Amino acid sequence: NAGVTQTPKFQVLKTGQSMTLQCAQDMNHNSMYWYRQDPGMGLRLIYYSASEGTTDKGEVPNGYNVSRLNKREFSLRLESAAPSQTSVYFCASRGGMAGNTIYFGEGSWLTVV
Amino acid sequence: KQEVTQIPAALSVPEGENLVLNCSFTDSAIYNLQWFRQDPGKGLTSLLLIQSSQREQTSGRLNASLDKSSGRSTLYIAASQPGDSATYLCAVRMDSSYKLIFGSGTRLLVRP
């Protein structure tokens, strides 16, 4: 059981380049999330998807776009990367008893130079 | 706007000590509160979840309490071990949202 899988694990981008972070879960969960984690700031929600085909903005959506093409996959795209987007990105999905348990991927370390 | 605070940011204790990690939140209208563990270079693992109607939850050497009226939760770790060294984060879920709001975490080091 793979749980939540993120790719790539590490990426270095130049300012202005674009890239997509991929996330897939195999637990048949409806809800999926993208967070970023910065030192001293905890995790901040970028976007979330309550179900297939729906997405909503979180706390820090500027500079990002997302796609929930099917129930398994939720991707995060940086159209024009900026140094301020250097961070660790976590994908998560929510399910379990009463839909309360949240499962995280291992993270994607992104550096924008 | 809900704010979640964890103090201290870092804690170092000798092996075997019982310890308490603190989490406070400004809006008491929460749906539930979760405690997570994060090992270096890894994602978060859920430890305990407390519903808003509950006062505490226990799992092994871990006990989490919730006092909504005062906006506080504690994570008690009994007989700490070096393997408990990690960052511990709390997160609250509000009534009308699927969103989780995280504290910035407490980095725990248990010294052998």
B25 neighbourhood in chain A, CB within 8 Å: none
Question: Taking CB atoms and an 8 Å limit, are B99 and A48 in contact across chains?
Answer: yes
Residue in chain B lying closest to A106 (CA): B43
**pLDDT, tens only, B1-59:** 889 999 999 999 999 999 999 999 999 989 999 999 999 888 899 999 999 999 999 99
The DSSP output letter for B49 is E
**pLDDT, tens only, A76-100:** 999 999 999 999 999 999 876 666 7
Please give the Cα distance from A73 to B47 (Å, whole number).
25
Six-digit token pair at B75? Answer: 């994570």
B47 neighbourhood in chain A, CB within 8 Å: none
Q: Which residue in B35, B26, B76, B29 sits closest to B53, CA to CA?
A: B29
In this structure, how many other beta carbons lie within 10 angstroms of the beta carbon of residue A24? 19
Q: Which residue in A105, A89, A92, A76 sits closest to A31, CA to CA?
A: A92
Six-digit token pair at B43? Answer: 């994602």
Residue in chain B lying closest to A32 (CA): B98
User: For B32, which of A48, A100, A106 is closest by C-beta distance?
Assistant: A100
